[in-house]
Chains A and B, each alone.
Chain A
């Protein structure tokens, strides 16, 4: 899943980016409001984390601009402004959630998951495909109660497929939601990682969990063949 972080306080921004990347998210970040707005306008994100007091363009202006453009990307405001009035102002401007600084990174991650589930209309944090179980909360993947160890990139790819389980997902969709702005992957990078995933998910003599739809993309669905 791809996250945009717009936060001007470098030490906080650094810690958030690191923690999100460690749990499999791709993160684009910006320290100024105008750059953040550019990212949000020109790229697809699953969640945007937005500070209010920013250089150049403030967070509320970014929020209102995006909503006026019809962007429905979930936006979580992270701000030190903690009064009820400020929270109401942020939520009324179009924020989906409001987190007051200081906060724990675990809570931030939980709120990101909550917004993502809502965006993809997932009621539960556990996605089951045949014997395969993907826990979006604990970020653990298991088959027949046996844990499968995945790399950060592999998990990120599987998580996105899990959120869209039952749907055909194009390569471009995967590219937009799994890779960040600065990653220069080759044209077949997605196919390569799909191959890695298939191998790790498939047990000896079992069917496949990721199906290829020629000319369309990939589908997370169990097949005996």
Chain B
């Protein structure tokens, strides 16, 4: 079973670990207590054995079990002490009264070696038995030549383990309940701690869920008190979402602006043709309306062409053919094509062609579009009757093209966004039928495709400089 929740994993994992530790602890404590209590019992048995053993006395040829007469005299011991002896010479077995007809196991090996065993008597009582091989004490007053080694005795003494068993059962109960309570307590504590600890992650999650990348108004809150463990992830994720949102906004703006640039002339065509066919007209009137329609279609054709280039460049399907290109010739040709507009606006083009014939290796067709766009942009935005400076030169091995124009007071584009397709500084736009807003975006794409660097700079004197570095 796969568990995906960190909280559940923490709770289950930690609880299991605590349960295992407590179980091992319980077993260790129980076993050591059990060993200790049995040790005490064994020690008592040994003491009793050391008291009883001297009470086996050799008198003449017989072994006298004096301990038996002592038991008879003590009613408490008579009903409690479990003692049994075996005379290895005669085979006589002697039992304490408390044993009755029951037998204790015959334990013991070499002399003085004590052997312990826990057994269950025939009456069902559990007892701890100590057994040993001993030699009786010689009564030297009756016969000084008595040899104890000739009368080996086996003796077994037993003590009821009830007291120890009861204590161990109580201990076991206490340990088990203690473990259960500890596990449950730990479980609760872990649950609360994990819940509290994971709260910031939940907050981050809620915030991320509420953020709509499709909604340009949606904003990501600055996350505070984010745990160190997830701070990096949150930062990265936040950055990612912001990048997606920006991309979505750019995409949305691109679609809206492209739609505007195409829909408005389309509306013009539709309205002009609808009006032309609204009623019968003179042929002159029809011709004039057709001419008006063509005047709408031509800039549209140019815009569609640029959009096609832009799309092909973005998708990497624009064919590229590299070869030597004379920048001077290219710029002169482009300026010639814009001559009418330049004259209409009273602009002066100051050509500063430092190198005689700067030749670069590039795609002539794309480079021509790029340079044309840059010059056209300057012609569109330069104030009327101002000067546009055009420079082409080599700096080291790098060819450079620089186009500089003045700007109207207070008017300066946002350099960060200037390369966005259809970018406008505000919702309002200028009356310029030749400016559709795709030129610089297309120029940037061409520059990227051809491996060139295109920069725009706001100079200190208020001029706008577009620089192309080969």
Chain A contacts to B: CB under 8 angstroms: 8-9, 11-12, 14-16, 18-19, 22, 31-33, 52-61, 78-83, 86, 100-106
**Stretch touching chain A among B108-116, B262-270, B382-390:** B262-270
Cα A15 to Cα B269 with chains together (Å) = 9
- B275:A58 contact, CB within 8 angstroms: no
- A80:B428 contact, CB within 8 angstroms: no
> Does B395 touch A at the CB level, under 8 Å?
no
| A102 CB to nearest B CB, Å | 4
- A18:B275 contact, CB within 8 angstroms: yes
Cα A9 to Cα B262 with chains together (Å) = 12
Given A12-B267, A19-B275, A104-B270, 12 other A-B contacts at CB below 8 A? A9-B264, A11-B268, A19-B278, A22-B278, A52-B427, A53-B427, A54-B427, A58-B426, A79-B260, A81-B256, A102-B269, A105-B271
| A191 CB to nearest B CB, Å | 31
- A55:B275 contact, CB within 8 angstroms: no
- B429:A8 contact, CB within 8 angstroms: yes
Which A residues are CB-close (under 8 A) to B265?
Answer: 9, 11
> Does B259 touch A at the CB level, under 8 Å?
yes
**Chain B residue, CB-CB nearest to A51:** B264
Tell me which of B252, B259, B296, B424 contacts A80 (CB under 8 A).
Answer: B259
5 smallest beta-carbon distances between A and B, as pairs: A15-B271, A58-B427, A80-B263, A102-B267, A101-B267
Within B235-291, which residues are at the interface with A (CB < 8 Å)? 252, 255-256, 259-272, 274-275, 278-279
With A15-B275, A22-B278, A58-B426 as given contacts, are A102 and B431 in contact (CB-CB < 8 Å)? no
Subset of 5 A-B contacts with CB under 8 Å: A15-B275, A55-B431, A78-B267, A82-B256, A105-B271
Prevailing SS type, chain B contact patch: helix
- B263:A82 contact, CB within 8 angstroms: yes
Chain B contacts to A: CB under 8 angstroms: 252, 255-256, 259-272, 274-275, 278-279, 292, 295-296, 424, 426-431
**Chain B residue, CB-CB nearest to A11:** B268
Which B residues are CB-close (under 8 A) to A31?
Answer: 431
| B439 CB to nearest A CB, Å | 18
Which B residues are CB-close (under 8 A) to A102?
Answer: 263, 266-267, 269-271
Tell me which of B274, B278, B429 contacts A54 (CB under 8 A).
Answer: B429
Which A residues are CB-close (under 8 A) to B296?
Answer: 11
**Chain A residue, CB-CB nearest to B293:** A11
With A15-B274, A101-B264 as given contacts, are A58 and B431 in contact (CB-CB < 8 Å)? no
Tell me which of B267, B278, B427 contacts A103 (CB under 8 A).
Answer: B267
- A15:B431 contact, CB within 8 angstroms: no
Tell me which of B279, B295, B428 contacts A57 (CB under 8 A).
Answer: B428
- B274:A105 contact, CB within 8 angstroms: yes
| A55 CB to nearest B CB, Å | 5
- B428:A12 contact, CB within 8 angstroms: no
With A54-B428, A83-B256 as given contacts, are A16 and B263 in contact (CB-CB < 8 Å)? no
| B212 CB to nearest A CB, Å | 12
Cα A45 to Cα B259 with chains together (Å) = 30
Cα A56 to Cα B427 with chains together (Å) = 9
Cα A151 to Cα B84 with chains together (Å) = 146
Which A residues are CB-close (under 8 A) to B264?
Answer: 9, 12, 80, 101
| B249 CB to nearest A CB, Å | 11
- A11:B292 contact, CB within 8 angstroms: yes
With A33-B428, A83-B252 as given contacts, are A11 and B295 in contact (CB-CB < 8 Å)? yes
- A81:B268 contact, CB within 8 angstroms: no
Cα A203 to Cα B296 with chains together (Å) = 49
Cα A143 to Cα B295 with chains together (Å) = 46
**Chain B residue, CB-CB nearest to A108:** B271
Which B residues are CB-close (under 8 A) to A82?
Answer: 256, 259, 263
**Chain A residue, CB-CB nearest to B431:** A55
- B263:A100 contact, CB within 8 angstroms: yes
- B431:A8 contact, CB within 8 angstroms: yes
Which B residues are CB-close (under 8 A) to A100?
Answer: 263
Q: Which of B264, B275, B426 has the most CB of A within 10 A?
A: B264
| A114 CB to nearest B CB, Å | 19
- B267:A80 contact, CB within 8 angstroms: yes
Cα A7 to Cα B61 with chains together (Å) = 144
Cα A155 to Cα B268 with chains together (Å) = 28
- B274:A81 contact, CB within 8 angstroms: no
| B299 CB to nearest A CB, Å | 10
| A32 CB to nearest B CB, Å | 7
| B79 CB to nearest A CB, Å | 102
Cα A80 to Cα B279 with chains together (Å) = 27
With A54-B429, A55-B430, A58-B426 as given contacts, are A81 and B271 in contact (CB-CB < 8 Å)? no
Which A residues are CB-close (under 8 A) to B424?
Answer: 53
Tell me which of B268, B279, B292, B427 contacts A60 (CB under 8 A).
Answer: B427
Which B residues are CB-close (under 8 A) to A12?
Answer: 264, 267-268, 271
**Chain B residue, CB-CB nearest to A22:** B278
| B344 CB to nearest A CB, Å | 16
**Chain A residue, CB-CB nearest to B255:** A83
Which B residues are CB-close (under 8 A) to A11?
Answer: 265, 268-269, 271-272, 292, 295-296
- B428:A9 contact, CB within 8 angstroms: no
Which A residues are CB-close (under 8 A) to B278?
Answer: 19, 22, 105
Cα A33 to Cα B426 with chains together (Å) = 13
Cα A14 to Cα B269 with chains together (Å) = 11
Which A residues are CB-close (under 8 A) to B274?
Answer: 15, 19, 104-106
With A53-B428, A53-B429, A55-B430 as given contacts, are A101 and B263 in contact (CB-CB < 8 Å)? yes
Which B residues are CB-close (under 8 A) to A58?
Answer: 426-428
- B275:A101 contact, CB within 8 angstroms: no
Cα A55 to Cα B426 with chains together (Å) = 10
Cα A103 to Cα B270 with chains together (Å) = 7
Cα A16 to Cα B264 with chains together (Å) = 13
Cα A22 to Cα B295 with chains together (Å) = 24
Which B residues are CB-close (under 8 A) to A18?
Answer: 275
Cα A103 to Cα B269 with chains together (Å) = 10
| B291 CB to nearest A CB, Å | 11
Which A residues are CB-close (under 8 A) to B275?
Answer: 15, 18-19, 105
- A9:B256 contact, CB within 8 angstroms: no
With A19-B275, A101-B264 as given contacts, are A55 and B429 in contact (CB-CB < 8 Å)? yes
Cα A19 to Cα B427 with chains together (Å) = 28
Which B residues are CB-close (under 8 A) to A22?
Answer: 278-279
